[in-house]
A and B are shown apart, each in its own frame.
Chain A
Amino acid sequence: MRQASQTNGKINLDPENAEHGLAQLVLTVIELLRQIVERHAIRRVEGGNLSDEQIENLGEALMNLEEKMEELKEIFGLDAEDLNIDLGPLGSLL
C-alpha cells in the first residue's frame, strides 16, 4: 500500500486507507487557502493602509495559522510536498 507521505504529487485515495487520503486532500485545500490569505495580507501590509495594531494582529493570526498547519501535517505524517499536488499540464498547485 502506498503511503500518502510519498512525494509523488498525487492524492492517495486507496479504499483501505481512505481517511489518510482524505486528510491529505483536506489539508491541501486548507494550505492553498492559507497561502492565498497570507499573500493577500502581505499585499495589504505593503500597501501601507493598515495601522500598527492591525498589522500586529494580522501577523500574529497568520503565524498561529502557520504553526497549526505544521502541527496538522505532523499528525498526519505529511510534508509540504504532499500538499503540493500535481495538476498535470498546469503544473503544481502551490
Chain B
Amino acid sequence: MCGLIYLYGLIPTKEETNQSFPSLKGFDGIGDLYTIPIGSITAIVCNLDPEEYSENRIKELINNDIEWLQEKAFHHHETVMKLSKIFTLIPLKFCTLYKNRESLETAVQSNDSKMMSTFALIKGNEEWNLKIYCDDQLLKDQVSQSNPVIEAKREEISKLPKGKQFFEKKKLDKLINSELEEEKNKVSEGIHLELKHFALKGNVKRTWSSDVTGRKDNMTWNSVYLISKPEVEHFLKQIQQYEKDMKEIGWQFEATGPWPAYHFSSFS
C-alpha cells in the first residue's frame, strides 16, 4: 500500500507472534494499527494519507492548532502506553513518519543490533520519573538561620547606617540565594545517588519552569530511572520516606510511572 507510515514503536518479533495484536485506532482515527515484521524486530504502525499529513501540513498544525496537537499527542501517548503494557516496546517520538514501507524497513534494518540490545536492556524493567519541588522561601529561611557566616554578617550589617545597610543587605540576599541553590543541588544529588542503587540506570533531566508545571514552587530536580519490576516497590518506598522526612522543611517529591522507556531507548 502506498502512503505515509506513522511509527508508534518497535517490539521483538517473537513477542508479536506469541500473542494476538490488540485492535487500536490509528493517528487519523480511521485506520487501525498493524504490524510490519522486519526480521527479528516488528514495527507497530498505521497508514496516513500523504496529502493530508505532509511534512509541511504537520508542522503547520503543530505550530498553529493547539487543539489538534493536544488531541494527537494524547492519542500517541495513550497508544504507546497501551502497547508498552503488552510488549517490550521501544517507543517512538510523537509524529515519527516514514515515506513508505521500504524506508521504514531500511531504517530498522540499519539499527538492528542497537535495537536488539535495547530490548535486552528494557525487558522486564520499568521507567520511572522523579520530580523534586522546593518551597524556596522556607528553605531560604532555614539557610539564612542555620548558617553562622550569614548570621555574623547580619549582625555586622545591623550596626551600619541605613544607606549602607541597604547595599549590604542586597549583597547578603545574593549570598543567601547562592547558598540556597548549592544546598538544593547537594540534597537532590544525594537523593539521586541513593535512588540509583534501586535502578539499573538513572539519568538527570532538565528541570521545567513554573509555566510548564503550573505550580508555585520551583522544580529543583528532574530525573528518570530504569528499574527492574521487583525493585520498583523499594524505590517508591524510599521516595515516600523522603517525603515523610522532608515535607515539613519544604521539599516535595513526585514519582510517576511506569512510563514507556522513552529515555532508555533511542531510535534514529
Give the number of residues in A that approach B within 8 Å (Cβ atoms): 18
Binds A, one of B17-25, B162-170, B219-227: B162-170
Segment 47-93 of A: residues with Cβ below 8 Å from B: 52, 55-63, 66, 86
Contacts of B211 in A (CB 8 A): 9, 86
Query: Nearest Cβ in chain B — how far from A37, in angstroms?
Result: 13
**Interchain CB contact under 8 A, B163 and A42:** no
**Interchain CB contact under 8 A, A56 and B170:** no
Q: Is B161 an interface residue (CB 8 A)?
A: yes
Contacts of B170 in A (CB 8 A): 38, 42
Contacts of B161 in A (CB 8 A): 56
Specify which of B161, B163, B211 lies most central, judged by the most chain A CB atoms within 10 Å of its CB: B163
Segment 130-148 of B: residues with Cβ below 8 Å from A: none
Q: Is A45 an interface residue (CB 8 A)?
A: yes
**Interchain CB contact under 8 A, A57 and B167:** no
CA distance A41 to B211 in the complex (A): 32
CA distance A68 to B163 in the complex (A): 16
CA distance A7 to B210 in the complex (A): 11
What 0/1 readout, one digit per residue, does chain B (50-73) give for beta carbons within 8 Å of chain A?
000000000000000000000000
22 of the cross-chain contacts (CB-CB < 8 Å) are A7-B216, A41-B167, A42-B167, A42-B170, A55-B163, A55-B164, A55-B167, A56-B161, A56-B162, A56-B164, A57-B163, A58-B163, A59-B162, A59-B164, A61-B163, A62-B166, A63-B162, A63-B163, A63-B165, A63-B166, A66-B166, A86-B211
Interface residues of B (CB under 8 A from A): 161-167, 170, 211, 216
